A and B are shown apart, each in its own frame.
Chain A
Amino acid sequence: MFWTFLSVGQKTYSLLFVKSLVNPHLHAYICSEYYRQKILFMSNEKFSKSSIGKKVIMGLTGLFLISFLVIHVTLNSMIFANDGGVLFNQGADFMSHNPIIRILEIGLFVGLLAHIFMALKLTLDNNKARPIKYAVTKGNANSKWYSRSMGVLGSLLLIFLVVHLAHFWVPTKVAVFSHTEHDTFASMREVFKEWYNVAIYMLGVIALGYHLLHGFQSAFQTLGLNHKKYTPMIKFIGSAFSVIVTILFAAMPIVMHLGIIK
Protein backbone atom coordinates (compact mmCIF):
# COMPACT_ATOMS: atom_id res chain seq x y z
CA MET A 1 0.00 0.00 0.00
CA PHE A 2 2.73 2.39 1.02
CA TRP A 3 4.62 1.74 -2.17
CA THR A 4 1.54 2.38 -4.23
CA PHE A 5 1.50 5.87 -2.82
CA LEU A 6 5.14 6.48 -3.52
CA SER A 7 5.06 4.92 -6.94
CA VAL A 8 2.52 7.38 -8.27
CA GLY A 9 4.71 10.14 -6.95
CA GLN A 10 2.06 12.15 -5.14
CA LYS A 11 4.30 13.72 -2.53
CA THR A 12 1.48 15.42 -0.64
CA TYR A 13 -0.31 12.15 -0.16
CA SER A 14 2.70 10.07 0.74
CA LEU A 15 3.66 12.62 3.39
CA LEU A 16 0.15 12.62 4.85
CA PHE A 17 0.10 8.86 4.59
CA VAL A 18 3.24 8.44 6.71
CA LYS A 19 1.83 10.80 9.32
CA SER A 20 -1.51 9.01 9.33
CA LEU A 21 0.08 5.65 10.14
CA VAL A 22 -0.11 6.52 13.85
CA ASN A 23 -3.87 7.02 13.66
CA PRO A 24 -5.87 4.21 12.03
CA HIS A 25 -9.00 6.35 11.53
CA LEU A 26 -7.11 9.15 9.88
CA HIS A 27 -5.22 6.56 7.90
CA ALA A 28 -8.38 4.97 6.52
CA TYR A 29 -9.72 8.37 5.62
CA ILE A 30 -6.58 9.53 3.83
CA CYS A 31 -6.60 6.31 1.81
CA SER A 32 -10.18 6.75 0.69
CA GLU A 33 -9.69 10.45 0.01
CA TYR A 34 -6.59 9.68 -2.00
CA TYR A 35 -8.39 7.20 -4.20
CA ARG A 36 -11.39 9.49 -4.60
CA GLN A 37 -9.14 12.27 -5.83
CA LYS A 38 -7.11 9.86 -7.92
CA ILE A 39 -10.25 8.74 -9.68
CA LEU A 40 -11.40 12.31 -10.11
CA PHE A 41 -8.25 13.97 -11.37
CA MET A 42 -5.48 11.53 -11.74
CA SER A 43 -6.99 8.68 -13.70
CA ASN A 44 -5.23 10.26 -16.61
CA GLU A 45 -1.60 10.81 -15.61
CA LYS A 46 -1.24 13.37 -18.40
CA PHE A 47 -4.19 15.39 -17.16
CA SER A 48 -2.75 16.20 -13.73
CA LYS A 49 0.56 17.14 -15.34
CA SER A 50 -0.94 19.43 -17.99
CA SER A 51 -1.25 23.16 -17.40
CA ILE A 52 -5.06 22.97 -17.65
CA GLY A 53 -5.25 19.93 -15.34
CA LYS A 54 -3.26 21.72 -12.66
CA LYS A 55 -5.48 24.75 -12.99
CA VAL A 56 -8.61 22.58 -12.68
CA ILE A 57 -7.27 21.18 -9.41
CA MET A 58 -6.64 24.78 -8.26
CA GLY A 59 -10.20 25.76 -9.21
CA LEU A 60 -11.93 22.76 -7.62
CA THR A 61 -9.96 22.97 -4.36
CA GLY A 62 -10.52 26.74 -4.36
CA LEU A 63 -14.30 26.32 -4.66
CA PHE A 64 -14.17 23.66 -1.93
CA LEU A 65 -12.35 26.10 0.37
CA ILE A 66 -14.94 28.77 -0.52
CA SER A 67 -17.71 26.38 0.60
CA PHE A 68 -15.90 26.10 3.94
CA LEU A 69 -15.74 29.89 4.22
CA VAL A 70 -19.54 30.07 3.89
CA ILE A 71 -19.91 27.85 6.96
CA HIS A 72 -17.12 29.62 8.85
CA VAL A 73 -18.50 33.11 8.32
CA THR A 74 -22.06 32.00 9.10
CA LEU A 75 -21.08 30.33 12.37
CA ASN A 76 -18.87 33.21 13.48
CA SER A 77 -21.64 35.70 12.74
CA MET A 78 -23.48 34.18 15.71
CA ILE A 79 -21.37 36.43 17.94
CA PHE A 80 -23.51 39.31 16.64
CA ALA A 81 -26.41 37.85 18.64
CA ASN A 82 -24.58 39.60 21.52
CA ASP A 83 -25.68 37.03 24.09
CA GLY A 84 -22.32 36.59 25.75
CA GLY A 85 -21.33 33.98 23.21
CA VAL A 86 -23.96 31.36 24.17
CA LEU A 87 -25.24 30.81 20.61
CA PHE A 88 -21.75 31.04 19.14
CA ASN A 89 -20.29 28.51 21.59
CA GLN A 90 -23.12 26.07 20.81
CA GLY A 91 -22.14 26.28 17.14
CA ALA A 92 -18.42 25.97 17.92
CA ASP A 93 -19.14 22.98 20.13
CA PHE A 94 -21.09 21.28 17.34
CA MET A 95 -18.25 21.91 14.87
CA SER A 96 -15.60 20.49 17.18
CA HIS A 97 -17.51 17.35 18.19
CA ASN A 98 -19.73 16.26 15.28
CA PRO A 99 -18.12 13.19 13.64
CA ILE A 100 -19.13 14.24 10.10
CA ILE A 101 -17.56 17.64 10.59
CA ARG A 102 -14.44 15.92 12.00
CA ILE A 103 -14.09 13.91 8.79
CA LEU A 104 -14.79 16.96 6.61
CA GLU A 105 -12.09 18.82 8.52
CA ILE A 106 -9.48 16.33 7.33
CA GLY A 107 -10.81 16.78 3.79
CA LEU A 108 -10.42 20.51 4.29
CA PHE A 109 -6.74 20.16 5.17
CA VAL A 110 -6.21 17.83 2.21
CA GLY A 111 -7.92 20.38 -0.08
CA LEU A 112 -5.88 23.22 1.38
CA LEU A 113 -2.61 21.33 0.97
CA ALA A 114 -3.51 20.40 -2.62
CA HIS A 115 -4.33 24.08 -3.33
CA ILE A 116 -0.98 25.24 -1.88
CA PHE A 117 1.04 22.46 -3.52
CA MET A 118 -0.44 23.11 -6.97
CA ALA A 119 -0.01 26.89 -6.55
CA LEU A 120 3.69 26.40 -5.82
CA LYS A 121 4.11 24.07 -8.77
CA LEU A 122 2.29 26.43 -11.14
CA THR A 123 4.20 29.48 -9.91
CA LEU A 124 7.54 27.76 -10.48
CA ASP A 125 6.44 26.59 -13.96
CA ASN A 126 5.13 30.04 -14.85
CA ASN A 127 8.36 31.73 -13.78
CA LYS A 128 10.26 29.41 -16.10
CA ALA A 129 8.04 30.50 -18.99
CA ARG A 130 9.61 33.99 -18.87
CA PRO A 131 13.27 33.66 -17.84
CA ILE A 132 14.18 37.21 -19.00
CA LYS A 133 11.85 39.84 -17.57
CA TYR A 134 10.75 43.06 -19.26
CA ALA A 135 12.54 46.31 -18.39
CA VAL A 136 9.17 48.12 -18.47
CA THR A 137 5.73 46.59 -17.88
CA LYS A 138 2.37 48.30 -17.52
CA GLY A 139 0.28 45.58 -15.91
CA ASN A 140 -2.44 47.93 -14.73
CA ALA A 141 -3.22 48.84 -18.34
CA ASN A 142 -4.57 45.37 -19.07
CA SER A 143 -5.44 43.63 -15.78
CA LYS A 144 -6.29 44.12 -12.10
CA TRP A 145 -3.39 44.11 -9.63
CA TYR A 146 -5.01 41.47 -7.42
CA SER A 147 -5.51 39.08 -10.34
CA ARG A 148 -1.74 39.22 -10.90
CA SER A 149 -0.96 38.90 -7.17
CA MET A 150 -2.74 35.67 -6.24
CA GLY A 151 0.55 34.09 -5.14
CA VAL A 152 1.47 36.99 -2.88
CA LEU A 153 -2.06 37.21 -1.46
CA GLY A 154 -2.11 33.44 -0.96
CA SER A 155 1.25 33.50 0.84
CA LEU A 156 -0.02 36.27 3.14
CA LEU A 157 -3.10 34.13 3.79
CA LEU A 158 -0.93 31.12 4.64
CA ILE A 159 1.07 33.12 7.18
CA PHE A 160 -2.16 34.50 8.60
CA LEU A 161 -3.62 31.00 8.74
CA VAL A 162 -0.75 29.73 10.91
CA VAL A 163 -1.36 32.56 13.40
CA HIS A 164 -5.13 32.06 13.19
CA LEU A 165 -4.93 28.29 13.83
CA ALA A 166 -2.59 28.86 16.75
CA HIS A 167 -5.11 31.31 18.24
CA PHE A 168 -8.27 29.25 17.91
CA TRP A 169 -7.90 25.83 16.31
CA VAL A 170 -5.08 24.46 18.50
CA PRO A 171 -6.77 25.30 21.86
CA THR A 172 -10.01 23.68 20.60
CA LYS A 173 -8.14 20.51 19.62
CA VAL A 174 -6.32 20.41 22.97
CA ALA A 175 -9.69 20.68 24.74
CA VAL A 176 -11.29 17.94 22.61
CA PHE A 177 -8.46 15.49 23.20
CA SER A 178 -8.20 16.23 26.92
CA HIS A 179 -12.03 16.00 27.21
CA THR A 180 -12.34 19.44 28.73
CA GLU A 181 -14.72 22.26 27.89
CA HIS A 182 -13.37 25.04 25.71
CA ASP A 183 -14.95 28.48 25.62
CA THR A 184 -14.08 29.68 22.10
CA PHE A 185 -15.93 32.94 22.65
CA ALA A 186 -13.77 33.69 25.68
CA SER A 187 -10.61 33.03 23.70
CA MET A 188 -11.88 35.40 20.98
CA ARG A 189 -12.28 38.11 23.62
CA GLU A 190 -8.80 37.32 24.88
CA VAL A 191 -7.13 37.48 21.45
CA PHE A 192 -8.91 40.60 20.23
CA LYS A 193 -8.11 42.52 23.40
CA GLU A 194 -4.72 43.21 21.82
CA TRP A 195 -4.70 45.88 19.11
CA TYR A 196 -1.88 44.15 17.20
CA ASN A 197 -3.97 40.98 16.89
CA VAL A 198 -6.81 43.08 15.49
CA ALA A 199 -4.33 44.59 12.99
CA ILE A 200 -3.09 41.13 11.93
CA TYR A 201 -6.68 39.98 11.39
CA MET A 202 -7.49 43.09 9.33
CA LEU A 203 -4.54 42.36 7.02
CA GLY A 204 -5.46 38.69 6.78
CA VAL A 205 -9.10 39.44 5.99
CA ILE A 206 -8.23 42.07 3.35
CA ALA A 207 -5.84 39.60 1.69
CA LEU A 208 -8.66 37.04 1.75
CA GLY A 209 -11.09 39.54 0.20
CA TYR A 210 -8.85 40.30 -2.78
CA HIS A 211 -7.90 36.62 -3.17
CA LEU A 212 -11.61 35.77 -3.40
CA LEU A 213 -12.42 38.72 -5.65
CA HIS A 214 -10.28 37.15 -8.37
CA GLY A 215 -10.41 33.50 -7.30
CA PHE A 216 -14.18 33.02 -7.18
CA GLN A 217 -14.92 33.91 -10.81
CA SER A 218 -11.54 32.61 -12.00
CA ALA A 219 -12.41 29.10 -10.75
CA PHE A 220 -15.53 29.03 -12.92
CA GLN A 221 -13.58 30.20 -15.98
CA THR A 222 -10.94 27.50 -15.39
CA LEU A 223 -13.61 24.81 -15.20
CA GLY A 224 -14.92 26.06 -18.53
CA LEU A 225 -18.11 27.40 -16.95
CA ASN A 226 -18.35 30.54 -19.06
CA HIS A 227 -21.67 31.43 -20.59
CA LYS A 228 -23.06 34.70 -21.92
CA LYS A 229 -26.15 34.22 -19.78
CA TYR A 230 -24.55 33.17 -16.48
CA THR A 231 -21.02 34.63 -16.39
CA PRO A 232 -22.18 38.16 -15.45
CA MET A 233 -24.17 36.58 -12.60
CA ILE A 234 -21.19 34.50 -11.42
CA LYS A 235 -19.00 37.61 -11.47
CA PHE A 236 -21.57 39.58 -9.49
CA ILE A 237 -22.03 36.83 -6.90
CA GLY A 238 -18.25 36.46 -6.63
CA SER A 239 -17.74 40.17 -5.98
CA ALA A 240 -20.67 40.36 -3.55
CA PHE A 241 -19.48 37.26 -1.71
CA SER A 242 -15.94 38.65 -1.39
CA VAL A 243 -17.15 42.00 -0.06
CA ILE A 244 -19.68 40.50 2.38
CA VAL A 245 -17.23 37.91 3.76
CA THR A 246 -14.55 40.58 4.16
CA ILE A 247 -16.88 42.99 5.97
CA LEU A 248 -18.27 40.31 8.30
CA PHE A 249 -14.87 38.86 9.20
CA ALA A 250 -13.34 42.33 9.60
CA ALA A 251 -16.18 43.46 11.85
CA MET A 252 -15.66 40.62 14.36
CA PRO A 253 -12.25 41.61 15.82
CA ILE A 254 -13.27 45.30 15.77
CA VAL A 255 -16.53 44.91 17.67
CA MET A 256 -14.86 42.63 20.21
CA HIS A 257 -11.91 44.95 20.66
CA LEU A 258 -14.22 47.92 21.19
CA GLY A 259 -16.36 45.92 23.58
CA ILE A 260 -19.55 46.32 21.52
CA ILE A 261 -19.95 42.54 21.62
CA LYS A 262 -19.29 41.27 25.13
Chain B
Amino acid sequence: MSGSGEKTLNLTLKVWRQKNAKAAGNLETHQLSGISTDMSFLEMFDVLNEKLITDGKEPIAFDHDCREGICGMCSMYINGRPHGPKQGVTTCQLHMRSFNDGETIVVEPWRSAAFPVVKDLAVDRSAFDRIISSGGFVSVNTGNAKDANNILIPKDDADDAFNAAACIGCGACVAACKNGSAMLFVSAKVSQLALLPQGKVEAKGRVLNMVGQMDEEGFGACTNTGACEAECPKGISLENIARMNREYLSSSLTYVKK
Protein backbone atom coordinates (compact mmCIF):
# COMPACT_ATOMS: atom_id res chain seq x y z
CA MET B 1 0.00 0.00 0.00
CA SER B 2 2.88 2.39 -0.53
CA GLY B 3 1.43 4.93 -2.88
CA SER B 4 1.75 8.51 -3.94
CA GLY B 5 -0.17 10.00 -1.03
CA GLU B 6 0.32 9.83 2.69
CA LYS B 7 -3.33 10.70 3.19
CA THR B 8 -5.56 8.49 5.27
CA LEU B 9 -9.29 8.64 5.95
CA ASN B 10 -11.57 8.03 8.91
CA LEU B 11 -14.89 6.68 7.70
CA THR B 12 -18.29 5.58 8.93
CA LEU B 13 -19.61 2.64 6.96
CA LYS B 14 -23.25 1.57 6.87
CA VAL B 15 -23.34 -1.86 5.29
CA TRP B 16 -26.32 -4.09 4.46
CA ARG B 17 -26.18 -7.32 6.47
CA GLN B 18 -28.47 -10.21 5.63
CA LYS B 19 -27.91 -13.80 6.85
CA ASN B 20 -29.44 -15.53 3.81
CA ALA B 21 -31.98 -15.09 1.01
CA LYS B 22 -34.94 -15.60 3.34
CA ALA B 23 -33.80 -13.54 6.34
CA ALA B 24 -34.64 -9.87 6.79
CA GLY B 25 -31.62 -7.59 6.58
CA ASN B 26 -30.55 -4.30 8.08
CA LEU B 27 -27.85 -1.65 7.79
CA GLU B 28 -24.96 -2.21 10.18
CA THR B 29 -22.63 0.65 11.17
CA HIS B 30 -18.83 0.26 11.32
CA GLN B 31 -16.09 2.80 12.09
CA LEU B 32 -12.87 2.62 10.11
CA SER B 33 -9.76 4.69 10.68
CA GLY B 34 -6.48 5.08 8.82
CA ILE B 35 -7.82 4.01 5.42
CA SER B 36 -5.28 4.91 2.73
CA THR B 37 -6.61 6.97 -0.16
CA ASP B 38 -4.66 4.65 -2.48
CA MET B 39 -6.79 1.66 -1.53
CA SER B 40 -9.51 0.43 -3.82
CA PHE B 41 -13.01 0.24 -2.40
CA LEU B 42 -12.74 -3.56 -2.20
CA GLU B 43 -9.38 -3.35 -0.37
CA MET B 44 -11.08 -1.11 2.16
CA PHE B 45 -13.64 -3.91 2.59
CA ASP B 46 -10.81 -6.41 3.02
CA VAL B 47 -9.46 -4.26 5.88
CA LEU B 48 -12.92 -4.11 7.44
CA ASN B 49 -13.37 -7.88 7.13
CA GLU B 50 -9.96 -8.58 8.74
CA LYS B 51 -10.98 -6.34 11.60
CA LEU B 52 -14.28 -8.22 11.93
CA ILE B 53 -12.49 -11.60 11.91
CA THR B 54 -10.00 -10.39 14.56
CA ASP B 55 -12.94 -9.26 16.67
CA GLY B 56 -14.49 -12.73 16.28
CA LYS B 57 -17.36 -11.45 14.14
CA GLU B 58 -18.76 -12.72 10.86
CA PRO B 59 -17.05 -11.04 7.86
CA ILE B 60 -19.20 -9.28 5.25
CA ALA B 61 -19.95 -11.35 2.14
CA PHE B 62 -19.42 -9.41 -1.09
CA ASP B 63 -18.92 -10.39 -4.74
CA HIS B 64 -15.52 -9.85 -6.35
CA ASP B 65 -13.22 -11.75 -8.65
CA CYS B 66 -10.71 -10.23 -11.08
CA ARG B 67 -10.34 -6.86 -9.34
CA GLU B 68 -9.34 -5.24 -12.64
CA GLY B 69 -12.73 -4.23 -14.00
CA ILE B 70 -13.37 -7.00 -16.50
CA CYS B 71 -15.21 -9.80 -14.72
CA GLY B 72 -18.41 -7.99 -13.72
CA MET B 73 -18.60 -9.60 -10.28
CA CYS B 74 -18.31 -6.59 -7.95
CA SER B 75 -21.73 -5.17 -7.36
CA MET B 76 -22.00 -2.64 -4.56
CA TYR B 77 -24.57 0.14 -4.49
CA ILE B 78 -22.51 2.88 -2.89
CA ASN B 79 -24.08 6.10 -1.56
CA GLY B 80 -27.08 5.75 -3.86
CA ARG B 81 -25.21 4.78 -7.03
CA PRO B 82 -24.05 1.45 -8.50
CA HIS B 83 -20.23 1.15 -8.40
CA GLY B 84 -20.08 4.43 -6.46
CA PRO B 85 -19.73 8.09 -7.41
CA LYS B 86 -17.31 7.77 -10.37
CA GLN B 87 -18.38 7.21 -13.97
CA GLY B 88 -17.08 4.37 -16.12
CA VAL B 89 -15.57 2.28 -13.32
CA THR B 90 -16.46 -0.89 -11.45
CA THR B 91 -16.29 -1.01 -7.64
CA CYS B 92 -12.82 -2.59 -7.74
CA GLN B 93 -11.60 0.35 -9.85
CA LEU B 94 -13.04 2.87 -7.40
CA HIS B 95 -10.42 4.29 -5.06
CA MET B 96 -10.79 5.74 -1.60
CA ARG B 97 -9.44 9.08 -2.85
CA SER B 98 -12.95 9.60 -4.27
CA PHE B 99 -14.19 9.98 -0.68
CA ASN B 100 -13.68 12.61 1.98
CA ASP B 101 -12.32 12.25 5.49
CA GLY B 102 -15.14 11.74 7.99
CA GLU B 103 -17.62 10.74 5.30
CA THR B 104 -20.46 8.28 5.91
CA ILE B 105 -20.70 5.65 3.15
CA VAL B 106 -23.86 3.57 2.72
CA VAL B 107 -23.30 0.25 0.91
CA GLU B 108 -26.28 -1.82 -0.29
CA PRO B 109 -26.66 -4.84 -2.59
CA TRP B 110 -28.25 -4.56 -6.07
CA ARG B 111 -32.00 -4.30 -5.47
CA SER B 112 -34.02 -6.34 -7.95
CA ALA B 113 -36.65 -9.05 -7.73
CA ALA B 114 -34.60 -10.93 -10.33
CA PHE B 115 -31.36 -10.63 -8.28
CA PRO B 116 -32.16 -12.22 -4.90
CA VAL B 117 -29.66 -11.49 -2.11
CA VAL B 118 -27.59 -14.57 -1.32
CA LYS B 119 -25.90 -13.05 1.72
CA ASP B 120 -25.05 -9.49 2.80
CA LEU B 121 -23.93 -7.73 -0.40
CA ALA B 122 -23.74 -10.81 -2.64
CA VAL B 123 -26.63 -11.21 -5.08
CA ASP B 124 -27.57 -14.06 -7.41
CA ARG B 125 -27.30 -12.83 -11.00
CA SER B 126 -27.94 -16.16 -12.70
CA ALA B 127 -31.03 -14.55 -14.29
CA PHE B 128 -28.54 -12.97 -16.72
CA ASP B 129 -27.09 -16.40 -17.52
CA ARG B 130 -30.56 -17.76 -18.31
CA ILE B 131 -31.21 -14.79 -20.64
CA ILE B 132 -27.92 -15.49 -22.46
CA SER B 133 -28.64 -19.22 -22.82
CA SER B 134 -32.11 -18.45 -24.21
CA GLY B 135 -30.58 -16.91 -27.35
CA GLY B 136 -27.22 -15.20 -26.89
CA PHE B 137 -25.27 -17.56 -29.14
CA VAL B 138 -24.46 -18.23 -32.81
CA SER B 139 -24.26 -21.58 -34.56
CA VAL B 140 -20.93 -22.28 -36.29
CA ASN B 141 -19.62 -25.16 -38.33
CA THR B 142 -17.17 -27.39 -36.55
CA GLY B 143 -13.89 -28.37 -38.19
CA ASN B 144 -10.86 -26.33 -39.09
CA ALA B 145 -10.68 -22.69 -38.12
CA LYS B 146 -11.79 -20.41 -40.96
CA ASP B 147 -9.50 -17.84 -42.52
CA ALA B 148 -9.67 -14.50 -40.81
CA ASN B 149 -11.70 -11.85 -42.68
CA ASN B 150 -13.47 -14.53 -44.72
CA ILE B 151 -16.65 -12.50 -44.29
CA LEU B 152 -16.14 -8.80 -44.86
CA ILE B 153 -17.66 -6.64 -42.13
CA PRO B 154 -17.81 -2.83 -42.33
CA LYS B 155 -15.51 -1.27 -39.73
CA ASP B 156 -18.33 0.78 -38.18
CA ASP B 157 -20.48 -2.33 -37.66
CA ALA B 158 -17.54 -4.22 -36.19
CA ASP B 159 -16.85 -1.31 -33.82
CA ASP B 160 -20.50 -1.07 -32.71
CA ALA B 161 -20.63 -4.83 -32.14
CA PHE B 162 -17.38 -4.69 -30.18
CA ASN B 163 -18.63 -1.80 -28.04
CA ALA B 164 -21.80 -3.76 -27.24
CA ALA B 165 -19.69 -6.83 -26.45
CA ALA B 166 -17.80 -4.77 -23.85
CA CYS B 167 -20.73 -5.42 -21.47
CA ILE B 168 -19.43 -7.44 -18.50
CA GLY B 169 -22.91 -8.33 -17.22
CA CYS B 170 -22.40 -6.75 -13.79
CA GLY B 171 -26.04 -5.65 -13.52
CA ALA B 172 -25.34 -1.99 -12.67
CA CYS B 173 -27.97 -1.07 -15.30
CA VAL B 174 -30.62 -3.04 -13.41
CA ALA B 175 -29.46 -1.59 -10.09
CA ALA B 176 -29.53 2.00 -11.40
CA CYS B 177 -32.88 1.78 -13.20
CA LYS B 178 -35.86 3.00 -11.22
CA ASN B 179 -37.85 0.17 -12.81
CA GLY B 180 -35.19 -2.50 -12.28
CA SER B 181 -35.10 -3.01 -16.04
CA ALA B 182 -32.43 -5.16 -17.70
CA MET B 183 -32.90 -3.61 -21.14
CA LEU B 184 -29.35 -2.25 -21.42
CA PHE B 185 -27.78 -5.64 -20.65
CA VAL B 186 -30.11 -7.62 -22.92
CA SER B 187 -29.83 -5.06 -25.72
CA ALA B 188 -26.04 -5.20 -25.59
CA LYS B 189 -26.14 -8.99 -25.84
CA VAL B 190 -28.68 -8.86 -28.69
CA SER B 191 -26.74 -6.12 -30.51
CA GLN B 192 -23.29 -7.70 -30.41
CA LEU B 193 -24.71 -10.56 -32.49
CA ALA B 194 -27.37 -8.72 -34.49
CA LEU B 195 -24.77 -6.35 -35.94
CA LEU B 196 -22.64 -9.12 -37.43
CA PRO B 197 -23.43 -11.40 -40.38
CA GLN B 198 -22.69 -14.49 -38.26
CA GLY B 199 -25.49 -13.44 -35.93
CA LYS B 200 -28.08 -12.85 -38.64
CA VAL B 201 -28.97 -16.55 -38.99
CA GLU B 202 -30.77 -16.77 -35.64
CA ALA B 203 -31.50 -13.05 -35.24
CA LYS B 204 -35.31 -13.15 -35.31
CA GLY B 205 -35.85 -15.96 -32.84
CA ARG B 206 -33.00 -14.72 -30.65
CA VAL B 207 -34.49 -11.34 -29.76
CA LEU B 208 -37.93 -12.85 -29.08
CA ASN B 209 -36.47 -15.52 -26.81
CA MET B 210 -34.12 -13.22 -24.92
CA VAL B 211 -36.78 -10.56 -24.30
CA GLY B 212 -39.23 -13.32 -23.32
CA GLN B 213 -36.74 -14.69 -20.79
CA MET B 214 -35.99 -11.16 -19.53
CA ASP B 215 -39.70 -10.60 -18.79
CA GLU B 216 -40.02 -14.02 -17.19
CA GLU B 217 -37.18 -13.29 -14.78
CA GLY B 218 -39.16 -10.34 -13.39
CA PHE B 219 -37.14 -7.37 -14.64
CA GLY B 220 -39.08 -4.12 -15.16
CA ALA B 221 -39.80 -2.24 -18.39
CA CYS B 222 -37.71 0.60 -19.82
CA THR B 223 -38.84 4.22 -19.42
CA ASN B 224 -35.80 5.69 -21.20
CA THR B 225 -34.52 7.67 -18.22
CA GLY B 226 -30.96 6.91 -19.34
CA ALA B 227 -29.79 6.05 -15.79
CA CYS B 228 -28.38 2.71 -17.01
CA GLU B 229 -26.18 4.31 -19.66
CA ALA B 230 -24.92 6.92 -17.18
CA GLU B 231 -23.98 4.27 -14.60
CA CYS B 232 -22.66 1.54 -16.93
CA PRO B 233 -18.96 0.95 -16.15
CA LYS B 234 -18.39 -0.03 -19.79
CA GLY B 235 -20.26 2.87 -21.42
CA ILE B 236 -22.86 0.69 -23.18
CA SER B 237 -25.01 3.06 -25.27
CA LEU B 238 -28.79 3.53 -25.26
CA GLU B 239 -28.59 3.03 -29.05
CA ASN B 240 -28.47 -0.67 -28.25
CA ILE B 241 -31.89 -0.49 -26.56
CA ALA B 242 -33.36 1.20 -29.64
CA ARG B 243 -31.76 -1.49 -31.81
CA MET B 244 -33.28 -4.23 -29.68
CA ASN B 245 -36.69 -2.51 -29.85
CA ARG B 246 -36.39 -2.44 -33.65
CA GLU B 247 -35.32 -6.09 -33.77
CA TYR B 248 -38.14 -7.07 -31.44
CA LEU B 249 -40.77 -5.14 -33.39
CA SER B 250 -39.77 -6.53 -36.77
CA SER B 251 -39.40 -10.08 -35.42
CA SER B 252 -42.81 -9.91 -33.70
CA LEU B 253 -44.39 -8.85 -36.97
CA THR B 254 -42.72 -11.41 -39.23
CA TYR B 255 -41.28 -14.33 -37.28
CA VAL B 256 -43.15 -17.62 -37.57
CA LYS B 257 -42.03 -20.35 -35.21
CA LYS B 258 -41.91 -23.62 -37.15
Assess the A129–B242 pair: CB atoms within 8 A: no
Known: A55-B221, A134-B111. A139 touches B227 (CB 8 A): yes
Known: A129-B112, A134-B80. A51 touches B242 (CB 8 A): no
Assess the A224–B249 pair: CB atoms within 8 A: yes
The reply on A155 being an interface residue by CB < 8 A is no
Assess the A129–B238 pair: CB atoms within 8 A: no
Instruction: Give the Cβ gap from A77 to chain B, nearest Cβ, in Å.
Output: 30
Count A-side interface residues using an 8 Å CB cutoff.
Answer: 43
Assess the A136–B108 pair: CB atoms within 8 A: yes
Residue interface mask B162-205, A partner, CB < 8 A = 1: 00000000000000101111010000000000000000000000
The reply on A96 being an interface residue by CB < 8 A is no
Q: Which B residues are in CB contact (< 8 Å) with A139? A: 80, 178, 227
Assess the B245–A51 pair: CB atoms within 8 A: no
The reply on A179 being an interface residue by CB < 8 A is no
Count B-side interface residues using an 8 Å CB cutoff.
Answer: 49
Q: Which A residues are in CB contact (< 8 Å) with B181? A: 51, 126, 129
Assess the A56–B80 pair: CB atoms within 8 A: no
Tell me the residues in window 3-47 of chain A with beta carbons closer than 8 Å to chain B beta carbons: 44, 46-47
The reply on A214 being an interface residue by CB < 8 A is yes
Q: Which B residues are in CB contact (< 8 Å) with A131? A: 113
How far is B212's CA from A239's CA once the two chains are assembled, in angstroms?
Answer: 34
Instruction: Give the Cβ gap from A95 to chain B, nearest Cβ, in Å.
Output: 33
Assess the A218–B224 pair: CB atoms within 8 A: yes
The reply on B126 being an interface residue by CB < 8 A is no
| Cross-chain contact of A138 among B80, B239, B249 (Cβ < 8 A) | B80
Known: A129-B114, A129-B179, A139-B178. A226 touches B81 (CB 8 A): no
Q: Which A residues are in CB contact (< 8 Å) with B31? A: none
How far is B222's CA from A122's CA once the two chains are assembled, in angstroms?
Answer: 9
| Cross-chain contact of B242 among A125, A134, A221 (Cβ < 8 A) | A221
Instruction: Give the Cβ gap from B110 to chain A, nearest Cβ, in Å.
Output: 10
Known: A129-B180, A221-B242. A141 touches B81 (CB 8 A): yes
Which B residues are closer than 8 A to A by beta carbons?
14, 27, 77, 79-81, 85, 106, 108, 111-114, 176, 178-181, 183, 208, 211-212, 214-215, 218-227, 230-231, 238-239, 241-249, 252-253
- 6 closest pairs, A vs B, by CB? A224-B246, A226-B242, A129-B220, A138-B80, A129-B180, A142-B230
Q: Taking A136-B108, A144-B225, A214-B224 as given, write out 15 further A-B residue pairs in contact, using a Cβ cutoff of 8 Å, ordered by the A residue number.
A: A46-B208, A51-B183, A53-B252, A55-B245, A126-B179, A128-B220, A134-B80, A134-B111, A142-B81, A142-B231, A148-B225, A224-B243, A225-B242, A226-B239, A228-B239
